[in-house]
Amino acid sequence: MSKPKKTAVVTGAAGFLGSHLTDRLLAEGFRVIGMDNLITGNVRNIEHLAGNPDYDFIKHDVTKFLFLPGKVDRIFHFASPASPIDYLQIPIQTLKVSSLGTHNVLGLAKEKGASFVLASTSECYGDPLEHPQKETYWGNVNPIGPRGCYDEAKRFAEAMTMAYHRAHAVDTKIVRIFNTYGPRMRLEDGRVVPAFIGQALAGRPLSVFGDGSQTRSFCYVSDLIEGIFRLSQSHYHEPVNIGNPDEMTILQFAEAIVRLTGSRQPIEFKPLPEDDPKVRQPDISLAKQLLGWEPKVFFNEGIEKTIAYFRDFLRMKP
């Protein structure tokens, strides 16, 4: 007789990362229960799972009372708006999902005796004064600025997660996610990858904020999910950076998108948003040592797959 499958819960399951994580968990033999209130998630990201006997989807807001019958082995808390456009439009919901929502989901983990993985963010470092950023850096965050609703919400979620680990012995992990890209991103979510690709494919000028000298480090989604899965199997409880340390300026990125899409559109420079980080680069020494993990997908390979996804998406869009 075969062993019963382990059950994993993924909050934010219809989002970009949540849907890719769900695919990985199913491939690893888990039964998966996905939750999403669909404020920023989209059922299109999980429609390929319709009819899968190992997948159940529940439309639910995790800031509300949370109950699930039966055994749960792992919980991945990925519910949260993650793009500037979203969390600037719905700041209170953003704060609630990482505070009340994290509290509720940790309570479920405690009740079920399940391990818990928090999707945190490099935004915990704010506009960093340390470069590259190590997990030991406490950050430079403006708590009352327009980005504070996201940055401070995630910092609170980390504190709540560690409190449940220390006070209730919940098996918790924290992944600090750096800029990630790939298929299933929303075309107009305000993040630089879909913004530049969408503008280039639509024949519009690419909007670079500031002079384009600010830097980002882009990790392809399959690499990120690999790192998160490895972390979920570890016994390490403090934050771990998962991202690609290959750094480039936003202007270099815009020029690459113009070249790879064959666009002839110019680059337009616009004012830099308040508190926009000037640099962003993960130090992944801990992930290498702890998980034996580092990114494998080169930028050109990943970005060409992403461009192809958006071409197909725009072709099918009514």
Active site residues: 150
Of 207, 285, 192, nearest to 240 (Cα)? 285
Q: Is 273 left (phi over 0), alpha (psi -120 to 50) or beta?
A: beta
Q: How close are the terminal C-alpha atoms of the chain, in Å?
A: 49
Contact between 177 and 17 (Cβ < 8 Å): yes
* CA angle (28, 32, 34) in 5-degree steps: 135
Query: Strand, coil or helix: what is 239?
Result: strand
Contact between 118 and 173 (Cβ < 8 Å): yes
Contact between 126 and 141 (Cβ < 8 Å): yes
Cα dihedral: 20, 23, 24, 30 (round 10): 140
Amino acid at the residue 262: G
Query: Strand, coil or helix: what is 187?
Result: coil
The sign one gets for the Cα dihedral 284, 290, 295, 296 is: positive
Distance CA 227, CA 297 (A): 13
The sign one gets for the Cα dihedral 180, 186, 187, 190 is: negative
